[in-house]
Amino acid sequence: MPDSTVLSHIDQGLDQSLDRLFELLRIPSVSTDPAYAQDCERAAQWLVAELAGLGFDASVRPTPGRPMVVAHYNAAGSPNAPRVLFYGHYDVQPPDPLDQWVTPPFEPRIATGPDGEKQIVARGAADDKGQLMTFIEAARAWLATEGALPVNVTVLLEGEEETGSPSLLPFLEANAEELKADVALVCDTNMWDAQTPAISTRLRGLVMDEVTITGPAMDLHSGLYGGPSRNPIRVLARVLAGLHDEDGRVTLPGFYDGVEELPPEIRDQWNALDISAEQFLGEIGLAIPAGERGRSVLEQLWSRPTCDVNGIWGGYTGAGSKTVIPSKASAKVSFRLVGKQQPLKIREAFRAYVRGAIPSDCKAEFIGFGASPAIEIPTDNPQLNKAAEALTEEFGKAPVMMGCGGSIPIVGAFRNMLGMDSLLIGFGLPNDRIHSPNEKYDVASFHHGIRSWARILGRLRA
């Protein structure tokens, strides 16, 4: 545990911590636009300077895209201390549309929210500069008051997370020995609410496929061919409609292989969060639950697999009308996976289903766009429990062991390539407007985040 002087130092130095965050937020490190390449380099150099100033062996590492930041700290006098790998990203989304920002996106400011809470407003405030700086400021407090960190630390900050991390996997492969640690700490996640911390222990996997059904050899005039000729849009619509039964379950053979029921204690915790389907759907203008019948909203989002049609097209889609029977019809389909579901097995089951469901005079072609398995951190993981104890001490209540409906590929890469699990602990909130104009990060989230990481580092000490 940190000495109270560590936490007091954090409290007394909050204004200075905010000043440093504001310096980083002023750098427009937009990774997707080549016009900002030098700004991404500048952000990486800024972070290296900060880490080196704290005593880390820090450097900018070039990649074919935006650079990585790698820094190491060895805990003096603690040869048996564990090593943690902290991961974050310094790149940000483009700020467009600019006319919807109240103030310029790279001129950070403190605003007052609707409930009187103080908010840091700037692009990157929550995603992910504010989050990664909580860890750096926690390390700063330990070093300033104790003279050393309680554990060995490696920091890995990338500059392409917002563009799909094309350089990350090759970098991990090339530097695997250098980056190995006992556990990874990932900060790009949320709390349950402003008063309740969370650890994300479940990440759904993802399979994405595109299917094209070809019927006639060419587009046809519906007046000359409508009736006897096959319409691939009609064929595709029937195929897609058959992917779910009346209870919302996916109909692919073997789809639920490897899907396990929730442990009772996790189910009870989620049920206690008291989120109804009507409440959840009402926020997005819907009213009738459409997922698996008999499953709660949180269960559907965090621990159940899904199948969704993400796009569908074919024939004439321009202005006005055109009486055409198209030659082709296409759709993009994605599957969110949980538990021990096998991505490639799911993809093959989908393709086999389509081929078996279309008429013999039609043809199906497929394009795959990615396949990654689900990740689950066991709730008896000792490092997870130490982090949970630290968060309980900071917030006065136990963290929610959340699922994540989306996928965070870096967590799978850390497990598969570096052989370690990840603790996903972030301090964002669902209303932080990440990727949108007027992105914000509550000052209280930033403050709690620094204090929480200080506590967690102390708890992880051997």
Cα–Cα–Cα angle for 415, 421, 427, rounded to 5 degrees: 120
Structure tokens at 123: 């692009």
In this predicted structure, what is the pLDDT of residue 383? 96
DSSP three-state, residue 400: strand
pLDDT beyond 80 at 406? no
Separation CA 196–CA 427 (nearest Å): 10
Structure tokens at 194: 């402003």
pLDDT band of residue 389 (cuts 50, 70, 90) is very high
In contact, 445 and 427? CB cutoff 8 Å: yes
In contact, 183 and 85? CB cutoff 8 Å: yes
* Higher per-residue confidence, 406 vs 105: 105
Mention every residue, 6+ apart, whose C-beta is less than 8 A from residue 416: none
DSSP 108-137: -EEEE-TTS-EEEESTTTTTTHHHHHHHHH
In this predicted structure, what is the pLDDT of residue 11? 98
In this predicted structure, what is the pLDDT of residue 407? 74
Cα–Cα–Cα angle for 432, 437, 439, rounded to 5 degrees: 30
DSSP letter (8 states) at residue 31: S
pLDDT beyond 90 at 296? yes
Q: What is the pLDDT of residues 118-170, one digit of tens each?
A: 999 999 999 999 999 999 999 999 999 999 999 999 999 999 999 989 999 99
pLDDT beyond 90 at 21? yes
In this prediction, what percent of the chain has a pLDDT beyond 90?
89
Q: What integer is the mean pLDDT of 183-211? A: 94
In this predicted structure, what is the pLDDT of residue 404? 85
How many residues in the chain? 462
pLDDT beyond 70 at 78? no
Nearest Cα residue to 327 out of 240, 232, 222 = 232
Structure tokens at 170: 């090759």
Average pLDDT, the chain: 95
Q: What is the pLDDT of residues 80-132, one digit of tens each?
A: 889 999 999 999 999 999 999 999 999 999 999 998 999 999 999 999 999 99
In this predicted structure, what is the pLDDT of residue 77? 67
Separation CA 61–CA 309 (nearest Å): 40
In this predicted structure, what is the pLDDT of residue 153? 98
In this predicted structure, what is the pLDDT of residue 435? 92
* Higher per-residue confidence, 121 vs 409: 121
Cα–Cα–Cα angle for 310, 314, 320, rounded to 5 degrees: 110
Helix residue spans in 32-159 (DSSP H): 37-53, 129-146
Structure tokens at 125: 């405030």
Cα–Cα–Cα angle for 359, 365, 367, rounded to 5 degrees: 150
pLDDT band of residue 380 (cuts 50, 70, 90) is confident
In contact, 148 and 79? CB cutoff 8 Å: no
Domain ranges of the chain: 4-203+375-460, 205-259+305-372
Separation CA 148–CA 133 (nearest Å): 18
In this predicted structure, what is the pLDDT of residue 1? 60
pLDDT band of residue 379 (cuts 50, 70, 90) is confident
pLDDT band of residue 2 (cuts 50, 70, 90) is low
Separation CA 216–CA 325 (nearest Å): 9
Mention every residue, 6+ apart, whose C-beta is less than 8 A from residue 67: 40, 41, 44, 60, 61, 159
Separation CA 438–CA 214 (nearest Å): 45
Beta strands 400-404 and 198-203, pairing class: parallel
Mention every residue, 6+ apart, whose C-beta is less than 8 A from residue 183: 82, 84, 85, 383, 420, 421, 422, 423, 460
Q: What is the pLDDT of residues 303-338, one digit of tens each?
A: 999 999 999 999 999 999 999 999 999 999 999 999
259 burial type by CB count under 10 A (0-12 exposed, 13-18 middle, 19+ buried) = middle
Beta strands 220-221 and 324-325, pairing class: antiparallel
Omega before residue 128 within 30° of 0, cis: yes
Q: What is the pLDDT of residues 204-235, one digit of tens each?
A: 999 999 999 999 999 999 999 999 999 999 99
In contact, 27 and 50? CB cutoff 8 Å: no
In this predicted structure, what is the pLDDT of residue 32? 95
pLDDT band of residue 378 (cuts 50, 70, 90) is confident
Q: What is the pLDDT of residues 39-61, one digit of tens each?
A: 999 999 999 999 999 999 999 99
Separation CA 63–CA 157 (nearest Å): 13
Q: Which CATH number is associated with domain 205-259+305-372?
A: 3.30.70.360
Structure tokens at 462: 């051997």
Q: What is the pLDDT of residues 340-372, one digit of tens each?
A: 999 999 999 999 999 999 999 999 999 999 888
Based on C-alpha coordinates, what's the Rg of the chain?
Answer: 25
Helix residue spans in 182-330 (DSSP H): 222-225, 232-241, 264-272, 277-282, 297-302
pLDDT beyond 80 at 76? no
Q: Which residues pair with 83 in a beta bridge?
A: 152
Least confident of 75-89, 176-190, 206-220, 445-459: 75-89
In contact, 402 and 200? CB cutoff 8 Å: yes
pLDDT band of residue 193 (cuts 50, 70, 90) is very high
Helix %, strand %, coil % for the chain, to 5? 35, 25, 40
435 burial type by CB count under 10 A (0-12 exposed, 13-18 middle, 19+ buried) = middle
In this predicted structure, what is the pLDDT of residue 329? 98
Q: Which CATH number is associated with domain 4-203+375-460?
A: 3.40.630.10
